Chains A and B, each alone.
Chain A
């Protein structure tokens, strides 16, 4: 091992020859720690440990006066190592490292002991929690004595940002970043951007038209010189790290030349299928489309797509392909193949949205069994004037409903399906009630568990719906059935529900049932999170770095999340979060460099036997074999500091900064010293 210098690169103290002088601080965290752990005893025990010069306790170590204590002690008592026993290092390690550096010593002469999350909050026995805290403090004090000064590395950051998902979150983030002058790649799986919002008719609580507020933004994306928009494309591979992600994007063939197609749609009229015949995904299967189609008139990009699954040219090869001949720009290209694009970006925003709950999982509500049971998204398409029915509410049997039941919490707040509240269903159910009444004049019943309308103008909207005469029945609907028990139920669907306010079981006959589906993680969310190394909560929504203080960051530096991929939320929250993600990405890349933690590994060439066993272990290809010296060499710029090679080296020649063998062995020794 190389000798330890007397000062680090910035002239801060901390040296080999110098006598080790440790300052120890234990935090009460108000009563969070002190209510269980005997902090005075911890401080007293710590004072007895070797090299400990100062041992103090304080109410809030992370506060300014707390940090000031550390800085002052460093100066006055010539301390050169600091140990703080407080909360999790994931929360305040960087805070204290900052204080240590300001005090004039290298910030890595610091060790944190977690006695809150791993101590007072999880234990009930005060003596045992105190004993545990003391053991862990002893380990930290022993370890910090072996710390060496380290420097953070600076790495250049690529100025481009990748945004995955072209819903309202991705669109907002893309426009924000592009307006700031950054290059943006927006990748969307579907043929058009717009996401779920493009399918809605009106938005609550203001009832402004979704298309009117969304489509200008979609056009802005297409026209923005800083945005490269790839629709009908998927991210397939991600390499690299913050500042330098290498991303592979698969661009599926739409059999239309994107450069020449102007979106005149002549080809669609020319198709050999004179009437649309195939299920239209955009209209939730309520409408039909041809094999050559555009999802909706304002789609961005305004390009048609040929579906090879239904197109006769692909299926039989015998089509005369009038679409090809009618196109005067020769944009139809049946020979198009999949393309692969490779890009390099500095940051990534994942905004892959949600999937509506699959109602067939709850057969009690009769979806698929009774024609007149619809999902909320289907109704959303039906009330839209540009939708499959032109805004007419006609049931599958051709009638116009006179009574409608809207069942809340389908796939939400339900132990059988999903535990969580999807947050938007109460409000969109009220909105649909309003729209359905407006279109049909029908009586609308809402079957709800609780009305959850928190948000600006939301509760007012609820009041307004009550005034408009929407019937509210408090109780989770038990079933939807066509089994009639009285003449007025004939020919209707009956919603059976326990009205918990009236305290009896009711049967409400209606012509139409709407299921207010909850939100689930999007299809493919699992592949996305593995590619980008994002953790997820047990329900499958992406996990933010901190639920309050880092809501758009993830555990992977440089990867941000926005919108419903993080959890159910409405449009205002999604847009706000997308803006936050864009700002965070901008803050990261605009600085031009990132500072990397110095916990990289290094090889002592004197001990390396050149066996090469470490080389294939490194997933980042950071270890190379130097043919000249016949030794392995680690490229510090590529090393991410996992330490896997260290544990594997047969000659023990690899070490990891901050996780040196002797540091960890001393921890093991000290946590067990009282056994």
Chain B
């Protein structure tokens, strides 16, 4: 990418609350940053931790999960299950060296277009301040390092091998 870096945030929105809130933000003509790429799921409970990891691995600078407020889930309790996974996932992501704030779970009700706007703008500003994550490029760099290391170790071992006459 030649032009200036822009944060890229992948969003998983539940159909009933947060996706609808985003529709409402649209109908209300609220303005927010264009850095979001939304993927619609029926329930935040459908958000597999692998989706989040995949998004980071493919170069997302942030991942936003949006679900219904506790007690308001269209499917009774899918959002709680999402929350449980999220808590585990947040630790995992932190341990991978990904800063807090790049992964967010927000409860945004269908009527909260304003909250959606604020959350998106806030998150984009925060991720912009953190700078690019570029895990996809780092993976390539790490692979390269590993290759070089393997190569070096191989060379060293070769050198150590006794030379038979």
Contact = CB atoms under 8 A, between A and B. Distances in A.
A664 B81 contact: no
Interface in A518-569: 530, 533, 535-538, 543, 555-556
A540 to B, nearest CB: 10
Interface string A643-675: 110111000000010010100110111011011
B64 interface: no
Given A116-B26, A132-B37, A643-B42, A555 B110 contact: yes
A646 B85 CA distance: 13
Contact of A121 (B29, B42, B55): B29
For this complex, into which size category does the number of interface residues on chain A fall?
35 or more
B43 A117 contact: no
Interface in B85-117: 85, 109-112, 117
A672 B25 contact: no
A659 B34 contact: no
Contacts of A132: 34, 36-37
Interface string B23-66: 10111011110101111111101111111001100111000000
Contacts of A89: 40
Nearest to A126: B34
B1 A617 contact: no
B74 A533 contact: yes
Nearest to B46: A643
B129 interface: no
A671 B23 contact: no
A433 B58 CA distance: 69
Contacts of A672: 8, 10, 37, 55, 58-60, 136
B22 A117 contact: yes
For this complex, into which size category does the number of interface residues on chain B fall?
35 or more
A644 B71 CA distance: 16
B76 interface: yes
Contacts, number: 157
A652 to B, nearest CB: 9
A269 interface: no
A88 B23 contact: yes
B75 A644 contact: yes
Given A642-B42, A668-B10, A674-B1, A125 B34 contact: yes
B81 A136 contact: no
A661 B39 CA distance: 12
A124 B30 CA distance: 10
A116 B16 CA distance: 18
Given A89-B40, A640-B75, A644-B81, A537 B111 contact: yes
A665 B55 CA distance: 9
Given A118-B23, A118-B38, A136-B38, A535 B43 contact: no
Contacts of B112: 538
A151 B104 CA distance: 35
A536 B30 contact: no
A455 to B, nearest CB: 26
B110 A535 contact: yes
Contacts of A538: 111-112
B21 to A, nearest CB: 10
A599 B42 contact: yes
A89 B38 CA distance: 13
Given A123-B31, A535-B109, A675-B58, A659 B42 contact: yes
A665 B22 contact: no
A665 B53 CA distance: 11
B81 A536 contact: no
Nearest to A649: B48
B90 to A, nearest CB: 16
A672 B37 CA distance: 9
B34 A128 contact: yes
Contact of A90 (B20, B37, B76): B20
Interface in B109-129: 109-112, 117
A171 interface: no
B39 A667 contact: yes
Instruction: Kindly name the residue among A88, A129, A642, A656 whose own CB sees the greatest number of chain B CB atoms within 10 A.
Output: A642
A491 interface: no
A656 B22 contact: no
B111 A675 contact: no
A136 B27 CA distance: 19
Nearest to B53: A668
B131 to A, nearest CB: 14
B54 A668 contact: yes
Contact of B55 (A91, A555, A668): A668
A121 B26 contact: yes
Instruction: Kindly name the residue among A119, A139, A640, A674 whose own CB sees the greatest number of chain B CB atoms within 10 A.
Output: A640
A550 B43 CA distance: 22
Contacts of B74: 533, 555-556, 642
Interface string B2-18: 00001010100001110
A675 B45 contact: no
Nearest to A124: B31
Interface string A279-294: 0000000000000000
Nearest to B8: A675
A640 B43 CA distance: 11
A641 interface: yes
A135 interface: yes
B17 A535 contact: yes
Contacts of A131: 34
A531 to B, nearest CB: 11
Contacts of A648: 81, 85
B30 A122 contact: yes
Contacts of A659: 41-42, 46
B34 A642 contact: no
A555 B31 contact: no
Closest 7 CB pairs of A and B: A117-B26, A644-B45, A643-B46, A675-B59, A642-B75, A671-B37, A642-B43
22 contacts: A88-B23, A89-B40, A90-B15, A117-B26, A122-B26, A122-B32, A122-B117, A123-B34, A128-B6, A135-B37, A139-B37, A536-B109, A543-B110, A543-B111, A599-B42, A642-B78, A644-B75, A647-B81, A659-B41, A671-B39, A672-B8, A672-B10
Given A536-B109, A640-B75, A644-B46, 19 more contacts: A117-B23, A118-B38, A122-B25, A132-B37, A535-B109, A535-B111, A555-B16, A555-B20, A620-B75, A620-B76, A641-B42, A644-B78, A647-B45, A648-B81, A659-B46, A661-B50, A665-B54, A672-B55, A672-B136
